[in-house]
Amino acid sequence: MNILPGYADVSVLQLALVAGVALFASIVGGLSGYGAGALMPLVLVPLVGAEPVVPIIAISALFNNSSRLAVFRSYADFRRAGIVLAFSVPTCVLGAWGYTRLSNAGAALVIAEAAADLGEAVERAARSIDDGSAAAVLGRLVAESNAGAD
């Protein structure tokens, strides 16, 4: 099976851009615990379209979170995870079914709204920091994300 024909219309520069954004998203995700799934659509949608982006991000999240579980297994509370899964899986299935009902334009609208929310969070964090450096903005975003998880 030869997968290279699938990349015939993708330039080396585009692949490098995706790799660079993926590296940046992984750093943000490693610091904050999430965020890679919010950053990657910004570069993937122009390349592959809106419709296939959600499955791509979902598969990426499965690998990401599986590796976290493998690394932090001793800290995992499987009883609580089971309770969360019992309530989250049905709503995830419902959301996935709803996504399959969207057209390419509908999927683009959903992704654009999520990107706008991310942009607003970055602006809010930047305004609340005196020095405005990138490290301070990222630190503020991490603090906000951790506060929201409580």
3-state secondary structure of 67: helix
Q: Which long-range contacts (CB under 8 A, 24 or more apart) does 118-123 make?
A: 118/38, 118/39
Q: How far is CA 113 from the centre of its chain?
A: 14
pLDDT at 98 over 50: yes
pLDDT in tens, 18-41: 888 888 888 887 777 777 777 888
Q: Cα Rg for the chain, rounded, in angstroms?
A: 17
Residue 134's pLDDT is: 60
- 67's tokens: 């590796």
**Between 86 and 142, the higher pLDDT residue:** 86
pLDDT at 132 over 90: no
pLDDT at 150 over 50: no
The DSSP call for residue 50 is S
The DSSP call for residue 77 is -
pLDDT at 108 over 50: yes
Closest CA to 56 of 39, 41, 42, 46: 41
pLDDT in tens, 57-92: 888 888 888 888 898 899 989 999 999 999 999 998
Residue 84's pLDDT is: 93
